[in-house]
C-alpha cells in the first residue's frame, strides 16, 4: 500500500492489517468459500468463525503469539496463548471446549523454559475445563525464529447464534476492567523499567468464568463483543464503526486505567487507548440493560467494569470514534497502533 | 478612427469594474461598450483616436477600482463599427464558465468617509460597504455572487439604495450586491452572557466603554467572532489568557489606522500599503521599544501582529476607546475553529467573554484573518484566508482531471483543481478536532458545488501519512465518489507548491524544511533536498539533515525529550545525560521523564526524523528559550525572536557525509556546540545557529544536486522556511553559487500550502492518470 515491502505497520492490528488481509487473502477466496455449513467465516472479520450443526453452533478461532520477553509479570507466552484463544471464543459468546497447540521453538532454547511455558498453557486449559485434543511441535534452526512461537486453535460451542460485531445506535459501550495493563507491562519489560514500575503487571487471564456467563445471560442484548488486544480499545472501537453510518463517543474520564499504568504511559508519551489488554472485553450492549450488565459483571468478579461510551448517529462523524474533552469539545480518537508521531 | 477589443481577466466582476470603465470611456470620449463575459472576464470595445485608446488602456490598469486585480489583459486591434457613445451592455452570460469567488474585502476609504460624515445618510453605520469593499465569500451561499445568493438577501433595499444600485453613474454602488444603509441593513445588539439585551441604541459606544473598564467583549465581525480586550493592561491580558486557556500564543492587535499602529511597531511604507490593502492582513512587525502594548500580548517575541480596522464596525468600536487599538483575537476555545454564529459563541465563549456585540447577518463561511510576515525582505503568507481565499491560482497548463486534494492534518487547507485553476480553501485548522473536520467537509462541498466538479473525472489526493485523519477522509471520499486515490509524499508537496506557484520547468532542486512528514522509507522527514522533474513529477530525495530520534507526539510538546534521545544515540550514559541535564538547568522531576526516553531510544523504540523543526526545538530547549511548546512552532518562533537581538558569530564546523546514496548534514554537531557555548549570550548563539544552519542547508542542497541537471532557480518551502535567519544564510550561499532562491508567494510555506502542492502533482504526474 505504501511501498512494496511488508512493514511492521501491516501487522499492527490497525486498519493497515485489515486492508492487507482483505486484499491479499480474502479477496482471492470465492464468495461461496468464505463460509461453510450455514455459518460465518472470512465474509466477516471477527474474533472467530462458526458453523451450524443441528440447533447449535461450533465456534473456531486461532491465533499466534510471539512476545518478548517470554516471561513477564502476570504471565508468560503459554499463559497468554491459552488465555487469548479462550477469550476469542468468550467474546463470540461460545463456551470453550477444546484446544490445539502449535509450538515452534528455536534451536538452543532451554528445555526448562519450554517446560514452564507448556505447563502454564495447560494449567489455563485445566482450570477452565478445556480439552487439549491435538497439536504440533517443531524446532527451527538458530536465528530463524525468535526463541518460541506458540499458536493456539480453539473450539467452542454455543446454543445461541455467536456474536458477529455490529454495534447498534443507542448501545452503551462497556469495558470489563482496567485497560492497557498487558501492553504497558511488556513495554516496561522491554525497556528494563520493571524495577522502577513495580505496579505494572500483565492482565493476561481467561474471561471464561467471569465475563462469559454474563454474555450468555444477556446474549440478545449484546450486539458486539471483542477483546482489545493489539491496537487497544481505540483499535476495537475504530474497527467497529469503520465504514459504517454510526459513530462511538467515548468519555475518556470513564475509561478505567490504573494509576500506575497511566503514570507510566504518560511518561512514555503513549495513549492508553492504543495499548493492549489481555484480560478485558469490550461489549456493545442495549442501553436498557447496560447498568444491569455492569452490576452482573461486578458480581461475577469484574469489579471495574464500566460504561465508557455509546454508539450514536452523527452524520458528519459517521464511521469515527470521538472522545469528549474536559472542556466539552470533541476530539477524534484514531487508532495508532505503532504510536506514530503526527504533529508537524 | 481606430478600434480595440480589450479582454480583462482576473478579479474584475463584483468589484465595480464596469461603472469604472463606463466613466473612463466617457471622460476620454471614446465610444463602444463594456460587458461581463464568462465567469471572470470583462470585455471592452472602444473606438477613438489611437492616442486616446492607448491612454484608455493605460488608465484602465492604473486607475482600476482598488480591489480589482488583473491576471491577464488582451488587447486586439479591430475594425471600427461606428459606435456612438458608450454603454454598459447586459452580461453575456455563459453558464459553463466558472467564476472566481470574490473574497472579503476591507472597508474602502470612501466608505469610511461616509461613515464619518455627519451629513451622510450612512453616518455611523457599522455595515457600510460598496462595490469596492465589504464581505463577499463569508456571506455567499452559492455562486454567482448575486444578492439573492448571499445572506444579504433578507435585507430589502430601500428606495435610495435602489436608486444607487441602478445608477450606472454611481461608481461604487451600481450593481453592488452587498450594499445597505441604516434604514434597511443588519442591526447591532449588545448582549450579556445570558443573552439579555444590554444596549440596542448605542451598542458600540457601550461595548467600547465595557472594554475600557477591563471587560472582554465577543464581537461578531465579517468572518467570525473576535474577542476584544484592552491591549495595554497586563491584568486584562492575563484574564483573557486564563479564560481562553492560551498561555503564551500571541494575540493580534487591531488599530484604528496605521497612524495609531506606528506607536506600537515599526512600519515601512511598503508595510503600510499592505496593512491598508483590501486584504488588510495581520502583519507581524518589529515592536517599538516604547510600545504601550502589554508584554503579555506576545510574550518573548520581537514582533507584534497588527492590523487595521477593516470594517466600519471595528473602526467605530476602536474610535470609541481611549487607546484606539485593542486585542482582537479569534473567538474560539484553544484548538477549535472560530465561532461564526451566536449559538457557538454562547456555548463556547460563555466563560471567556463578558459581553457579546452581535448582528443579525448570517456568516455563511467562517473566514479567519490572514497573517503575513516578512522573511529576508519578502512578504510570506502564514495564514491565507480573509482577502485572499478562495481566489484561484492559475497553473501554467491545464489539468487533465478534476483534482480534490485533502492537504495535511495540521494547519489544514483543502484544494480543488480544474481547468488551469487551483482553488485553495481558507484555513481549516487541525484535524483532530471534530469541529474542524466538519468545516473541511463544508468547504469541500461548497467548492465542489460552486465549481460543478464532476465525479466522473476526478482524482482524490492525500498525504502519504498512514495515520493522518486527512488521509482517511480522502480514502473515504474516493470510495464515496468512485474517484481514483493518489497519495503524495509530504515534502514533495511542499516543493511542488513552489514549483507550481512560480511556474518552473525542467528539473528543480527543492529544499523542504519542516516539522514532520511521512517519508517514503517509513521514517519521518522534515529537512530534505528533493529533485523533482517538473514535467513528470518523478522525484528523488538526494539529501537530508541527520535524523533525530522521535518516540512519539510528546516529543514535539517537550523538545528536551528529543535532546535526551539524541544524546543517547550519541553514546551518553545515563550518568552523563543526567549531568548534562543538570548543567542546563533541568529539574529532578523532568530528568526522570528524560531518562525514560533514554531507555526507549536505547531499545530502538523510536522513529528517526530528519526534521528541521525538531532540531530547532532542541536548540531552543537546550538554551532554555522554550522547553514546553504551547502553540504551533513556539520553540522556533521564540528562538528566532532571541536571534533578532544577537550578532552572527563563529559558527561550528558541520560535516557532510554520505549514507546509502543520500547526503546527510551532520546537524548533531550544533547540539554539542550549543552545550559548549551554554554560558555565552543566548541571542548570539541563537542567531549564529540559525544563520549557519541556513548556510549549511544551502551547501547541502548545492552539493547533493551537483551533476543532476537542475535549473538555476532553487526552491525552499516548509514551516521553517519563514525563519528570517535560516533564509538569510541559505540565500547568501545559494546566491554565491549563482542560483536564485524562490519561496512560495501565493500559498503559505507551512502545511497550509500542502494541498496546493498536491494538485500541482496531478498537473504533471502520470499517477493521476
Ligand atoms: Fe509540512
Ligand atoms: Mg466478537
Ligand atoms: Zn467601500
Ligand atoms: Zn438603504
Q: Where are the domains of chain A?
A: 1-34, 46-158, 172-332
**Per-residue pLDDT tens over the stretch B33-75:** 999 887 778 999 999 999 999 999 999 999 999 899 898 899 9
Inter-chain residue contact A191 with B465, CB threshold 8 Å = no
Cα A134 to chain centroid, rounded: 24
Partner residue opposite A344 with nearest CB, options B335, B410, B550:
B410
B592 contacts chain A (CB < 8 A): yes
Could you tell me if A87 and A206 are in contact, meaning their C-beta atoms sit under 8 angstroms apart?
yes
pLDDT at A2: 42
> Considering only the top CATH level, what class is A172-332?
alpha beta
Nearest CA in chain B to A196: B596
The pLDDT, as a whole number, for residue A337 is 65
Region A57-72: mean pLDDT is: 94
Q: Is residue B230 part of a domain?
A: yes
Ligand number nearest to the C-alpha of A88: 2
**Cα–Cα distance for residue pair B166/B162, rounded to 1 Å:** 6
The answer to whether residue B368 is domain-embedded is: no
- Side by side, the strands of the sheet bearing B282-286 are B197-199, B188-192, B355-359, B217-220, B225-229, B325-330, B253-255, B303-308, B282-286, B371-375, B378-383
Q: How far is CA A250 from the centre of its chain?
A: 18
Chain-chain contact of B600 with A268 (C-beta, under 8 angstroms): yes
Q: Is residue B706 part of a domain?
A: yes
Q: Is residue B523 part of a domain?
A: no
Residue B443 is assigned to a structural domain of this protein: yes
Mean pLDDT for chain A? 91
- Fold of the A46-158 domain: 60s Ribosomal Protein L30; Chain: A; (3.30.1330)
Q: What confidence score (pLDDT) does residue A328 get?
A: 66
Report how far ligand 2's centroid is from the alpha carbon of A47 (Å): 5
Q: In this structure, what are the phi and psi dihedrals at residue B167, rounded to the nearest 5 degrees?
A: -95, 105
A234-280 residue pLDDT tens: 999 999 998 899 999 999 999 999 999 999 998 888 899 999 999 99
C-alpha cell at B179: 450594499
Q: Does B242 touch chain A (CB under 8 A)?
A: no
The grid coordinates listed for B682 are: 543566548
All residues of chain B having their beta carbon less than 8 Å from the beta carbon of residue A342 are: 409-410, 465, 467-468, 516, 553
The position carrying cell 448605542 is B202
Beta strands in B245-286 (DSSP E): 253-255, 282-286
CATH number, domain with residue B316: 3.90.870.10
Alpha carbons B286 and B300: distance in angstroms, whole number:
12
**Does residue B582 carry a catalytic annotation?**
no
In this structure, is residue B626 part of a structural domain? Answer: yes
Q: Domain of B721: which CATH number?
A: 3.30.420.40
In chain B, the number of structural domains is 4
Cα A320 from chain centroid (whole Å): 20
Q: What values do phi and psi take at A77, rounded to 5?
A: -65, -30
**A190 or A217, higher pLDDT:** A217
B480 beta partners: none
What's residue A326's pLDDT? Answer: 65
pLDDT digits (tens, 9 = 90+) for B634-675: 999 999 999 999 999 999 999 999 998 899 999 999 999 999
DSSP state of B260: H
Dist CA B529 CA B512 (whole Å): 7
- Name which of A14-18, A38-42, A159-163, B439-443 the model is least confident about: A14-18
Half-sphere exposure for B677 (CA within 13 Å, toward CB) = 22
Residue B597: HSE in the Cβ half-sphere, 13 Å Cα cutoff: 32
Per-residue pLDDT tens for B119-169? 999 999 999 999 999 999 999 998 888 899 999 999 999 999 999 999 988
Tens of pLDDT, residues A122-180: 999 999 999 999 999 999 999 999 999 999 999 999 999 999 999 999 999 999 999 99
Same domain, B660 and B586: yes
CA of B748 to the centre of ligand 3 (A): 28
Nearest CA in chain A to B550: A341
Q: What is the pLDDT of residue B279?
A: 97
Bigger pLDDT: A314 vs B391: B391
pLDDT in tens, B473-491: 999 999 999 999 999 999 9
Of residues B526, B497, B495, B489, the one with CA closest to residue B508: B495
Residues B713 and B568 in one domain: yes
Residues B332 and B400 in one domain: no
- Full domain range(s) for residue B570: 548-742
Q: Is B321 among the domain residues?
A: yes
Query: Do B335 and B402 reside in the same domain of the chain?
Result: no
For position A1, what pLDDT does the model report?
A: 37
C-alpha cell of residue B423? 482553488
The closest of B591, B641, B636 to B611, measured between CA atoms, is B636
Here the CATH number for the domain that contains residue B82 is 3.30.70.100
Tell me what pLDDT residue A228 has.
95
Decide: pTM greater than 0.80.
Answer: yes
pLDDT digit string, tens, across residues A86-126: 999 999 999 999 999 999 999 999 999 999 999 999 999 99
pLDDT digits (tens, 9 = 90+) for B400-446: 999 999 999 999 999 999 999 999 999 999 998 888 999 999 999 99
Angle, helices A77-90 vs A111-127, to 10°: value is: 30
DSSP letters along B150-168, please?
A: BTTTTS---HHHHHHHH-T
Phi-psi region of A106 (alpha: psi -120 to 50; beta: other; left: phi over 0): beta
Given B35, B36, B170, B332, the catalytic residue: B36
The answer to whether residue B749 is domain-embedded is no
Whether the bond between A69 and the residue before it is cis, its omega within 30 degrees of 0, is: yes
Task: Please indicate, yes or no, whether residues B43 and B81 belong to a single structural domain of this protein.
Answer: yes
Q: Is a pLDDT exceeding 60 seen at residue B556?
A: yes
Is-catalytic flag, B607? no
The per-residue pLDDT for B189 is 96
The H or E element containing residue A128 is none
| Residue of A267, A322, A327 with shortest CB distance to B593 | A267
Does residue B596 sit in the same domain as residue B726?
Answer: yes
Distance from CA of B515 to the nearest CA of A (A): 4
Q: With contacts defined as CB-CB under 8 Å, which chain B residues touch A334? A: 467, 469, 472
Taking the CA of residue A32 and the nearest CA in chain B, the distance in Å comes to: 25
Amino acid at each position: 500500500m505504501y511501498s512494496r515491502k511488508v512493514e511492521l505497520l501491516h501487522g499492527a492490528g490497525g486498519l493497515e492489517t485489515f486492508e492487507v488481509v482483505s486484499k491479499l487473502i480474502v479477496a482471492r477466496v470465492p464468495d461461496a468459500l468464505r463460509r461453510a455449513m450455514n455459518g460465518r467465516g472470512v465474509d466477516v472479520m471477527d474474533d472467530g468463525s462458526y458453523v451450524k450443526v443441528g440447533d447449535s453452533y461450533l465456534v473456531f478461532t486461532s491465533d499466534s503469539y510471539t512476545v518478548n520477553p517470554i516471561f513477564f509479570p502476570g504471565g508468560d507466552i503459554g499463559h497468554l496463548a491459552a488465555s487469548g484463544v479462550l477469550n476469542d471464543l468468550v467474546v463470540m459468546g461460545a463456551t470453550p471446549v477444546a484446544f490445539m497447540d502449535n509450538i515452534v521453538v528455536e534451536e538452543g532454547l532451554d528445555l526448562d523454559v519450554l517446560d514452564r511455558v507448556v505447563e502454564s498453557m495447560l494449567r489455563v486449559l485445566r482450570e477452565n475445563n478445556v480439552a487439549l485434543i491435538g497439536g504440533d511441535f517443531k524446532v527451527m534452526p538458530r536465528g530463524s525464529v525468535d526463541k518460541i512461537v506458540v499458536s493456539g486453535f480453539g473450539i467452542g460451542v454455543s446454543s445461541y447464534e455467536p456474536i458477529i460485531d455490529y454495534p447498534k445506535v443507542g448501545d452503551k459501550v462497556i469495558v470489563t476492567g482496567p485497560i492497557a495493563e498487558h501492553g504497558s507491562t511488556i513495554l516496561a519489560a522491554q525497556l528494563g523499567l520493571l524495577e522502577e514500575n513495580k505496579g505494572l503487571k500483565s492482565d493476561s487471564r481467561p474471561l471464561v468464568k467471569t465475563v462469559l456467563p454474563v454474555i450468555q445471560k444477556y446474549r440478545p442484548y449484546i450486539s458486539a463483543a471483542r477483546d482489545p488486544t493489539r491496537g487497544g480499545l481505540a483499535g476495537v472501537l475504530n474497527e467497529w464503526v469503520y465504514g459504517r453510518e454510526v459513530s462511538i463517543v467515548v468519555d475518556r474520564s470513564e475509561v478505567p486505567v490504573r494509576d500506575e499504568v497511566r503514570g507510566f504511559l504518560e511518561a512514555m508519551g503513549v495513549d492508553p487507548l492504543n495499548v493492549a489488554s489481555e484480560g478485558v472485553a469490550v461489549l456493545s450492549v442495549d442501553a436498557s440493560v447496560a447498568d444491569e450488565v455492569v452490576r452482573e459483571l461486578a458480581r461475577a468478579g469484574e469489579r471495574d467494569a464500566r460504561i465508557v461510551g455509546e454508539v450514536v448517529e452523527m452524520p458528519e462523524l459517521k464511521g469515527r470514534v470521538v472522545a469528549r474533552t474536559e472542556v466539552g469539545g470533541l476530539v477524534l480518537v484514531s487508532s495508532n497502533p505503532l504510536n506514530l508521531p503526527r504533529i508537524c | 478612427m481606430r478600434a480595440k477589443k480589450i479582454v480583462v481577466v482576473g478579479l474584475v466582476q463584483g468589484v465595480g469594474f464596469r461603472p469604472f470603465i463606463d466613466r473612463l470611456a466617457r471622460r476620454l470620449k471614446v465610444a463602444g461598450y463594456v460587458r461581463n463575459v464568462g465567469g471572470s472576464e470583462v470585455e471592452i470595445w472602444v473606438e477613438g483616436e489611437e492616442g486616446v485608446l492607448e491612454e484608455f488602456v493605460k488608465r484602465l490598469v492604473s486607475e482600476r477600482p482598488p480591489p480589482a486585480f488583473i491576471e491577464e489583459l488582451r488587447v486586439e486591434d479591430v475594425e471600427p463599427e461606428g459606435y456612438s457613445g458608450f454603454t454598459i451592455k447586459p452580461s453575456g452570460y455563459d453558464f459553463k464558465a466558472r467564476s472566481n469567488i470574490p473574497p472579503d474585502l476591507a472597508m474602502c476609504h470612501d466608505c469610511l468617509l461616509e461613515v464619518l460624515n455627519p451629513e451622510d445618510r450612512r453616518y455611523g453605520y457599522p455595515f457600510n460597504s460598496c462595490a469596492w469593499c465589504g464581505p463577499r465569500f463569508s456571506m455567499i451561499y452559492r455562486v454567482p455572487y448575486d444578492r439573492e445568493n448571499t445572506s444579504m438577501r433578507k435585507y430589502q433595499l430601500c428606495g435610495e439604495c435602489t436608486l444607487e444600485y441602478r445608477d450606472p453613474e454611481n461608481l461604487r454602488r451600481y450593481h453592488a450586491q452587498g450594499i445597505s444603509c441604516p434604514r434597511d441593513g443588519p442591526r447591532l445588539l449588545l448582549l450579556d452572557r445570558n443573552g439579555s439585551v444590554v444596549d440596542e441604541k448605542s451598542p458600540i459606544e457601550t461595548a467600547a466603554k465595557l472594554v475600557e473598564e477591563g471587560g472582554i467583549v465577543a464581537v461578531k465581525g465579517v468572518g467570525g467572532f473576535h474577542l476584544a480586550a484592552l491591549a495595554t493592561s497586563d491584568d486584562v491580558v492575563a484574564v483573557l489568557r486564563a479564560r481562553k486557556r492560551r498561555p503564551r500564543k500571541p494575540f493580534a492587535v487591531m488599530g484604528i489606522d496605521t497612524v495609531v499602529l506606528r506607536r506600537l511597531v515599526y512600519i515601512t511604507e511598503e508595510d503600510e500599503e499592505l496593512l491598508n490593502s483590501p486584504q488588510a492582513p495581520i502583519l507581524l512587525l518589529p515592536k517599538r521599544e516604547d510600545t504601550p502594548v502589554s508584554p503579555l500580548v506576545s510574550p518573548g517575541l520581537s514582533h507584534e501582529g497588527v492590523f487595521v480596522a477593516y470594517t466600519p464596525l471595528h473602526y467605530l468600536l476602536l474610535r470609541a476607546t481611549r487607546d484606539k487599538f485593542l486585542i482582537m483575537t479569534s473567538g474560539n476555545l484553544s484548538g477549535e475553529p472560530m465561532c461564526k454564529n451566536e449559538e457557538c459563541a454562547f456555548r463556547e465563549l460563555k466563560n471567556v467573554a463578558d459581553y457579546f456585540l452581535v448582528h443579525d447577518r448570517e456568516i455563511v463561511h467562517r473566514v479567519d484573518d490572514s497573517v503575513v510576515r516578512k522573511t529576508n525582505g519578502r512578504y510570506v503568507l502564514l495564514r491565507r484566508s480573509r482577502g485572499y481565499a478562495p481566489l484561484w491560482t492559475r497553473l501554467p497548463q491545464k489539468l487533465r482531471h478534476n483534482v480534490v486534494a485533502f492537504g495535511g492534518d495540521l494547519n489544514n487547507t483543502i484544494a480543488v483543481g480544474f481547468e488551469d485553476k487551483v482553488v485553495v480553501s481558507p484555513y481549516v485548522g487541525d484535524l483532530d478536532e471534530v469541529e474542524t473536520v466538519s468545516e473541511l467537509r463544508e468547504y469541500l462541498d461548497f467548492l465542489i458545488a460552486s465549481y460543478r466538479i464532476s465525479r466522473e473525472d476526478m482524482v482524490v489526493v492525500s498525504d502519504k501519512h498512514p495515520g493522518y485523519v486527512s488521509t482517511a477522509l480522502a480514502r473515504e471520499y474516493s470510495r464515496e465518489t468512485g474517484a481514483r486515490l493518489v497519495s503524495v509524499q509530504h515534502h514533495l508537496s511542499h516543493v511542488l507548491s513552489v514549483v507550481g506557484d512560480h511556474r518552473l520547468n525542467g528539473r528543480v532542486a527543492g529544499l523542504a524544511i519542516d516539522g514532520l512528514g511521512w517519508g517514503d522509507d517509513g521514517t519521518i522527514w522534515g529537512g530534505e533536498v528533493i529533485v523533482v522533474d517538473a514535467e513528470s513529477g518523478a522525484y528523488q530525495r538526494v539529501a537530508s539533515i541527520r535524523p533525530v530520534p522521535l518516540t512519539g507526539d510528546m516529543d514535539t510538546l517537550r523538545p528536551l525529550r528529543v535532546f535526551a534521545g539524541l544524546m543517547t544515540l550519541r553514546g551518553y550514559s545515563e550518568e552523563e545525560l543526567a549531568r548534562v541535564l543538570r548543567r542546563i538547568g533541568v529539574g529532578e522531576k523532568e530528568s526522570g521523564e528524560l531518562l525514560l526516553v533514554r531507555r526507549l531510544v536505547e531499545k530502538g523504540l523510536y522513529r528517526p526524523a530528519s526534521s528541521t523543526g525538531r532540531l530547532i526545538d532542541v536548540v531552543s530547549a537546550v538554551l532554555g528559550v522554550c522547553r514546553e511548546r504551547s502553540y504551533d512552532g513556539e520553540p522556533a518562533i521564540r528562538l528566532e525572536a532571541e536571534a533578532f537581538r544577537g550578532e552572527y558569530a563563529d559558527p561550528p564546523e558541520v560535516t557532510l557525509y554520505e549514507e546509502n546514496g543520500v547526503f546527510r548534514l551532520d546537524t548533531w554537531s550544533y547540539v554539542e556546540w550549543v552545550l559548549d557555548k551554554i554560558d555565552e549570550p543566548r541571542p548570539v548563539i541563537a542567531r549564529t545557529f540559525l544563520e549557519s544552519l541556513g548556510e549549511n542547508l544551502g551547501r547541502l542542497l548545492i552539493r547533493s544536486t551537483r551533476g543532476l541537471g537542475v535549473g538555476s532557480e532553487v526552491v525552499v518551502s516548509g514551516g521553517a522556511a519563514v525563519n528570517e535567519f535560516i533564509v538569510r544564510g541559505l540565500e547568501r550561499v545559494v546566491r554565491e553559487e549563482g542560483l536564485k532562491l524562490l519561496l512560495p508567494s501565493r500559498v503559505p510555506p507551512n502545511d497550509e500550502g500542502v494541498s496546493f502542492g498536491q494538485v500541482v502533482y496531478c498537473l504533471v504526474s502520470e499517477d493521476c492518470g
